[in-house]
Structure 1
Amino acid sequence: MAPDPRVKSVGEIETAPLFDIVVDLNPRLNIGAGPFGQRILFGAAGGSFEGPKLHGEVLPGGGDWALFRPDGAMMLDVRLTLRTHDGALIHMTYGGRWVTPPDLRARMADPEGRHQIDPARYYFRTNPLFETGTPAYAWLNDIVSVGSGYLVEGGIAYRVSQVL
């Protein structure tokens, strides 16, 4: 079969560092097994973010309404509020996937040691989007970003990059 002649070369996707973020988590709330899997709320207790163009704190009150599928993969549904060092508020949302190999799942269930597992052993990717009314950060309203997640003591962290 011949390739579709409408397909064009658009170049490779490039990224640039946006920020590193650490989100401290409250104790999880197990909402229970529903028709799509096990729903758990990982509530945000605070945190911080630091990057070349912006930095500040993660405000308490957001969280991840995670869905654990029957195959063990986790689907993320996250909403956070960021406050920059100069007082701007930014709404951050993202979905994503966290896939842990079956041989790691027991170690991941251990709250004392799971943050010591090498993040290269699992797949944890996100797609953050932003919304703000602050003119100095309005450029965030028009970008797409990607993140690589990993566990830290007391929470979760991501390296977030802007898609250029």
Structure 2
Amino acid sequence: MKQYMGCLVWWAAAMSPAHAQADAPSAPALRTEFVFGARIKVDKPLVIGQSAHGLRRVVPIVGGTVSGPALTGTVVPGGADWQFVRPDGVVDVQAKYTLKADDGTLVMVDNRGVRHAPPAVLERMAKGEHVPANAYYFRTTARFEAPLGSKYEWLNRAVFIGVAERHPDAALIRFYRVD
């Protein structure tokens, strides 16, 4: 029993956060690199109504533009942002749409995130007013699906964070690759 307790004490010490940090190989610091921005034009939301998750709505995507150092082109009409407003007021978004690069390459996007703000800001947004982006939180994580062998294949192999702004007729998203 004494030997068992000794092993248990050693294991607990080895698993302590201080010990784990001292023995862990140093991980590289996270860095981000701006790759492109998208202005995604949207139509008026279709309000489905209350669901088990909250107020469900679908926001049709009707086009837009993409520009930046790593990709330029357009947003293809036909996607949508399926969202729900949770009981705590946070908007969960899941937008699926397609980008068309200037060379004709199509890239699929699955962009998920959250938006929240104080009630007064949410009221202004609901009225269709333009609200400065620093008045609310709107962040996303995007997954891209680019054709293998294309010059955009690198989009398939990285994590991307979107810093978003909501405008009455569009969402502006700046995409950053996390290195």
Same fold, judged at TM 0.5 (above): yes
Matched residue type, 2:70: K
2:161 to 123, 146, 156: 146
Within 2, Cα distance between the matches of 1:11 and 1:144? 15
Shift of 1:74: 0.3
Quick check: 2:74–2:101 contact (8 Å CA) kept in 1? yes
1:63 aligns with 2:63: no
Deviating more after overlay: 17-26 vs 1-10: 1-10
Distance (whole Å) between structure 2 residues aligned to residue 75 and residue 4 of structure 1 = 36
Task: Give distance in 2, aligned partners of 1:77 and 1:53.
Answer: 23
> More helix by proportion, 1 or 2?
2
Cα distance in 1 for partners of 2:76, 2:167 equals 18
Q: Equivalent residues in 2 for 1:40-119 (5 A)? A: 40-111=57-128, 113=129, 115=130, 117-119=131-133
1:67-104 Cα deviation digits (max 9, x unpaired): 11011110111101000000000001111110111221
Shift of 1:133: 1.3
Deviations 1:19-66 (A, max 9, x none): 111010012101111111011101100001101021100001111100
Fraction of identical pairs, as percent: 32
| Cα distance between partner residues in 2 of 1:79 and 1:5 | 44
Query: Is 1:137 matched with 2:152?
Result: yes
Across the aligned residues of Structure 1 and Structure 2, the Cα RMSD in angstroms comes to: 1.5
Kindly indicate whether the alpha-carbon contact (under 8 Å) linking 2:125 and 2:168 is maintained by their aligned counterparts in 1.
no
> Secondary structure of 1:72's match?
coil
- Aligned equivalents of 2:35 and 2:167: distance in 1? 19
Of structures 1 and 2, the larger Rg is shown by: 2
| CA positional deviation for 1:17 | 0.6
1:123 maps to what in 2? Answer: 137
TM-score with structure 1 setting the length: 0.92
The counterpart of 1:10, out of the listed 27, 34, 59, is: 27
Gaps of 5+ in 1: none
TM-score, normalised to structure 2's length? 0.85
Stretches of structure 2 that go unaligned for 5 or more consecutive residues are 1-12
Taking the aligned partners of 2:143 and 2:164, their CA distance within structure 1 comes to: 15
In structure 2, give the amino acid aligned to 1:124: F
* Separation in structure 1 between the aligned mates of residue 168 and residue 44 of structure 2, nearest angstrom: 13
Match of 2:170 in 1: 155
